[in-house]
Amino acid sequence: MNIITKLKKSGLSGRSGNDFPVWKKWQAIKTAKAWPKYIVCNGSEGEPNVFKDEYILTHYLSEVIEGIKIAARELGAQKSYIYLNKKFYKKFKKSISLLVKKFPAKIFEGKEGYLAGEETSLLNALEGKRVEPRIKPPFPTEQGLWNKPTLINNVETFYWIAKIAKNEYRNEKFYCVSGEVKNPGVFNLPDNYSIKQILQTTNNYSNFPFFVQAGGGAMGEILLPQELNQPIGGPASIIIFDKKKTDVWKLMNKWVTFLMKENCDRCTPCREGLYRLRDLIQTRTSDPKILNDIFSVLERTSLCPFGQAAFTPFKSAWKKLIRHTDLK
């Protein structure tokens, strides 16, 4: 059984947050007629309270590199690129260099910024261009690095590829748990576990009034305790907040400050939408009509997934914590 068949049978989806079936990306590269082909390992990990890739690079680096080598062999790639944020580059460059000594791979020190983790922005960074998203289609599998077919998977995905090749994959994933918890850290658990099961299994289910931000510390959705019987989507991050101690307005201001700093300013809906949200948050103004308009424009007209998802934490916080049930 070849590796693409194994990937399809495993049901592995990308671990960068988009949940796209891994085998479909591989198959697209495999059948592409253009040459050369490239492999890119995305080690940008720039969202607050998401730290699973650093854990994997620390404890399972050889498996990650093996996953990259498997991809290169199977897809006939000319060269591989390992894109690391500045922290990871400093911490792991030497160890990675030893593991890829006789393998055509380049370790690339990534640009600063959260947006560099978006796959087409990452390609621009590798090509020395301005770090901003490209319009899709075409997709990287068709026209990626230097307009050639390019496979982009993240650190965790390559780890699981190595396990699948050895028939050691058990439908698991890595979860980050942080915030007001007894036992913060990274945990390897079944990928169909609900958020509640994850918190209970890791001895982190709180006995005080709390709420959860699930899917990252910038764009993750706010969930209440009664909503935790669902699997986690996006980056597998769970952050617990003490409901009595948390100033929701200050929390939203933290998010919007981060997102305004990290967006590329290329498209008007994202740039101006975040600016308007900041004004409303800093003046503690709640107008459901204005909020609905801003959320709708961000989601429907932003150029890339950054703007399209940026409304998520704010809408859920306003609706569930500030109690604007009339938000659409």
pLDDT digits (tens, 9 = 90+) for 94-121: 999 999 998 999 999 987 678 878 899 9
Query: Tokens in use for 1?
Result: 């059984």
Give the range with max mean pLDDT: 133-137, 177-181, 282-286.
177-181
pLDDT digits (tens, 9 = 90+) for 132-168: 899 889 999 999 999 999 999 999 999 999 999 999 9
Q: Which residue has the tokens 């942080």?
A: 178
pLDDT at 295 over 70: yes
* 24-28, 110-114, 309-313: segment of lowest average pLDDT: 110-114
**Percent of the chain predicted with pLDDT > 70:** 98
Average pLDDT over all residues of the chain? 92
Taking each helix axis from N to C end, the angle separating 3-10 and 22-31, rounded to the nearest 10 degrees, works out to 150
Per-residue pLDDT at 87: 94
In whole angstroms, what separates CA 310 from the centre of its chain? 13
Distance CA 88, CA 234 (A): 21
Q: Give me the phi and psi of 322, to 5 degrees please.
A: -100, -5
* 13-27, 77-91, 310-324: segment of lowest average pLDDT: 13-27
List the chain domain ranges.
3-165, 172-242, 248-320
* 145-149, 154-158, 284-288, 313-317: segment of lowest average pLDDT: 284-288
265: left (phi over 0), alpha (psi -120 to 50) or beta: left
Per-residue pLDDT at 327: 65
Per-residue pLDDT at 209: 95
* 83-87, 235-239, 284-288, 311-315: segment of lowest average pLDDT: 284-288
Taking each helix axis from N to C end, the angle separating 268-282 and 288-301, rounded to the nearest 10 degrees, works out to 150
Place 328 in a pLDDT band, splitting at 50, 70 and 90: low
Topology adopted by domain 3-165:
Rossmann fold (3.40.50)
Q: How many CB atoms lie within 10 A of CB 303?
A: 18
Q: Give me the phi and psi of 48, to 5 degrees please.
A: -55, 140
- What CATH number does the domain located at 172-242 have? 3.10.20.600
Read off the pTM.
0.94
The 3-state DSSP composition of the chain as helix, strand, coil percent (nearest 5) reads 45, 15, 40
| Nearest Cα to Cα of residue 263 among 155, 119, 121, 115 | 115
- Contacts of 96 by beta carbon, 8 Å cutoff, 6+ apart: 61, 65, 82, 107
Beta bridge partner(s), residue 315: none
CB 189 within 8 A of CB 31: no
According to DSSP, residue 214 is labeled: E
Per-residue pLDDT at 219: 92
Query: Tokens in use for 54?
Result: 């650093």
Query: Tokens in use for 212?
Result: 């959860």
| Nearest Cα to Cα of residue 44 among 187, 154, 157, 156 | 154
DSSP 227-265: G-SSBPPSS-EEEEEETTT--HHHHHHHHHHHHHHHS-S
